Structure 1
Amino acid sequence: MEQKKIDTEQASEIASLNVLKKMWEIRIFEETIQELFDSGELYGTMHLCIGQEATAVGGAGTLKKSDWIVSTHRNHGHCIAKGTDIRAMFAELLGKKTGTNEGKGGSMHIADLAVGNLGSNGIVGAGFPIAAGAAMTAQMQGTDQVVLCYAGDGATNEGSFHEALNLASIWQLPVIYLIENNQYGMSSSIEQMVNIDKLSARGESYGIEGITIDGNDVDLVTKTVEKAVSKARAGGGPTLIEALTYRHKGHSKSDKLIYRSEEECREWQETNDPIIRLEKKLIQQGVTNEVEIRQLEMTVRKELNDMVASVKLDNEPTVEDLWTHVYSEDVV
């Protein structure tokens, strides 16, 4: 019995360290592509999720490989948490043929069906009905799959949100809507956009359980999503989760961040950073120490830096590649 208890504790500690590593992979991925953008090696725009790693890992990290996620334009963390290959993501953003979409989709359109990543979407609120449709597929085919749909707070004001929630409710679809409330829809604060205290209250209008949680507590996010996933998998229908978090960077690369104060940003970054909070918790629990954490961080940085150096040598799509994946190649 004592050995079983020790084994359980060791497994728990390993799982916690894996969560921390995954969060660092997301953070460093984002920092790296920002550096690539700033140096002129990466074109277009991007929407960084630095500061929101807990919702990504605590959400997608609870799913089976066969389960699906639907993501949004702020998508990199979700994709990494679901298991999409990081090297292939770097390649996609750098326009290489080895990318997830062979270098033709870019930042906002990463998809990886092999791990249940149904794809990201640049259209605000478009993921809600896509998730409902995927969940209906699982329900009609009798699988035990569930769908986790990520969206930002601003997307809950789109008509697609209300239409999808209504359908998910009346058909009791196996879908979890995870709203990352990072306090701002582009440049407008959430207080200016809605007249309710909690976005999760909108679930009640459609007979859906609504929950508001601290989205920077990765353990709480994990427990909450796990419970919702179990309910959906057992036929209990959808759940709406509002996770309170904060993006450290601007809405996109063109955002000058003139709509929020430096004091507010500093408060969130210094006292409520999800990675710092997890590190402190693991140190207090005796799972790890400061030296081991910094070694883990350095290891991840080297791994990702090596990936980028390798990706830069990959081939780019050819002119002929422009004609592939445009029309279905199946002949009926």
Structure 2
Amino acid sequence: MSLARPARTRTSPTPRKAARKTAKASKAEPGADTRHRSDLLEAMLRIRHFEERCVELYSATKIRGFVHLYIGEEAVAVGVNEALTPEDAVVATYREHGHALARGISAEAVMAEMYGRTTGCSGGRGGSMHLFDASRRFYGGNAIVAGGLPLAAGLALADRMGGQNRVTCCFFGDGAFAEGEFHETANLAALWNLPLLLICENNFYAMGTALERHQAQTDLAMRATSYGMVAWSVDGMDVEAVEQAARRAVEGIRTGTGPHFLELRTYRFRAHSMYDPDRYRDKAEIERWKSRDPITLLTDRMRESGAPVDKDVARIERRITAEIDHAVEAAEQAPEEPVENLLQHVTSAPAEAVT
């Protein structure tokens, strides 16, 4: 099978058919927009409350190791996952609790993994940075910066060679943009016309280094176009803008226009990790970004449209609180892996002798 890239024009993608279908459905079904916004709000609130509970549990030494919180970036995971189907694949970063929850992995399975218990989605062996669930085609976080990009290219290549009309979505941060793995992956993805959606979560700080201190050109979407792929920047604090952009990109990929790159400009409200004293950011800058909290932006929009958002939020938060309470209780009661099992999954089992 030839991997040569077919001839095509590299211009901005045309408006997606899915958008037109959604618009028609909204007009035909009263309240569809309100219900969808409520679903988006619930997904973001689930991530926010889960992360806030992780802060409490970490402070109480119930959760150990490195923990990277997603607070402030919820619109990215939720908006992008709305554009994907269960058959598509997702590769995440080490800040992936939000990605996992948005993909549909239960809070119970994620929390058990945080506790290192056998009922966790990775059997308790991955912890915060290595959530994984093959049944949902969620190929997990990766503690290596940019480490997921080559894996995503491999998944996309397998789908293309197998004739599958599936998309692989890879999340990574602005710090990963500086790594060789990004440039190698972008080059091969464009060269081989891979069905790959590259999602750069640009929160403007690679750990503690501001974007302008490690990139001479800070327009990452513009730089991505140099590889011959469609790319543009999106307000990553607006979940509806993220969803619209992701649907547009996914439609383009499915129709054969090659890999797409979205630079989602977002911001983490917490430090890089729970170990980070966060002395490299101005407090006023953090407050400016908090004024554009993605949850607040959506609730304000719903309120302006006349939706009963305050009642919705109260109802959703009660349900999510009970869900997370149950997840914590289940994690604390779940067993740890027996010592005698620790060598399992480290090496493959010996192959049977061929006679």
Tell me the TM-score range normalised by the shorter chain: over 0.9
Report the CA distance between 1:254 and its aligned residue.
1.0
Paired with 2:295 and 2:144, the residues of 1 have a C-alpha distance of: 29
* Number of matched pairs: 328
Report the CA distance between 1:306 and its aligned residue.
2.2
TM-score, length of structure 1 as denominator length? 0.95
Letter in 2 for 1:192: R
Runs of at least 5 residues in structure 2 that lack an aligned partner in the other structure: 1-24
**8 Å Cα contact 1:82/1:116 also seen in 2:** no
Deviates more, 1:320-329 or 1:18-27: 320-329
Q: Deviations over 1:272-321 (max 9, x none)?
A: 10011011111111233323312322321222112211221111111122
**8 Å Cα contact 2:211/2:218 also seen in 1:** no
Letter in 1 for 2:328: V
Paired with 1:5 and 1:71, the residues of 2 have a C-alpha distance of: 31
Q: Deviations over 1:257-285 (max 9, x none)?
A: 1111111111111x110011011111111
Report the CA distance between 1:184 and its aligned residue.
0.5
Work out which of the residue numbers 83, 103, 125 in structure 2 matches 1:62: 83
Deviates more, 1:305-314 or 1:251-260: 305-314
Work out which of the residue numbers 41, 44, 48 in structure 1 matches 2:65: 44
2:293 is equivalent to residue 273 of structure 1: yes
Matches within 5 A, 1:73-222: 73-222=94-243
Paired with 1:323 and 1:72, the residues of 2 have a C-alpha distance of: 26
Paired with 2:234 and 2:31, the residues of 1 have a C-alpha distance of: 28
Report the secondary structure of 1:312's partner residue: helix
Letter in 1 for 2:116: G
Moved over 6 A (4+): none
Work out which of the residue numbers 9, 12, 17 in structure 1 matches 2:38: 17
Work out which of the residue numbers 280, 300, 322 in structure 2 matches 1:302: 322
Inter-CA distance 284–330: structure 2 relative to 1 (3 Å threshold): farther
Letter in 1 for 2:232: I
Deviates more, 1:322-331 or 1:102-111: 322-331
Letter in 1 for 2:211: I
Report the CA distance between 1:40 and its aligned residue.
1.0
Q: Deviations over 1:17-53 (max 9, x none)?
A: 1111010111111111111000111111111010000
Deviates more, 1:106-115 or 1:298-307: 298-307
Q: Could you tell me the percent identity over the aligned residues?
A: 37
Paired with 2:28 and 2:116, the residues of 1 have a C-alpha distance of: 45
Letter in 1 for 2:110: M
**8 Å Cα contact 1:146/1:232 also seen in 2:** yes
Report the secondary structure of 2:31's partner residue: helix
Paired with 2:351 and 2:30, the residues of 1 have a C-alpha distance of: 55
Paired with 2:310 and 2:189, the residues of 1 have a C-alpha distance of: 45
Letter in 2 for 1:107: S
Paired with 1:240 and 1:50, the residues of 2 have a C-alpha distance of: 23
Alpha-carbon RMSD across the aligned residues, in angstroms, is 1.4
Letter in 1 for 2:327: M
Alignment match, 1:262: 283
Letter in 2 for 1:59: V
Inter-CA distance 330–85: structure 2 relative to 1 (3 Å threshold): farther
**8 Å Cα contact 1:213/1:242 also seen in 2:** yes
Q: Deviations over 1:82-115 (max 9, x none)?
A: 1112201100110111001111111111010111
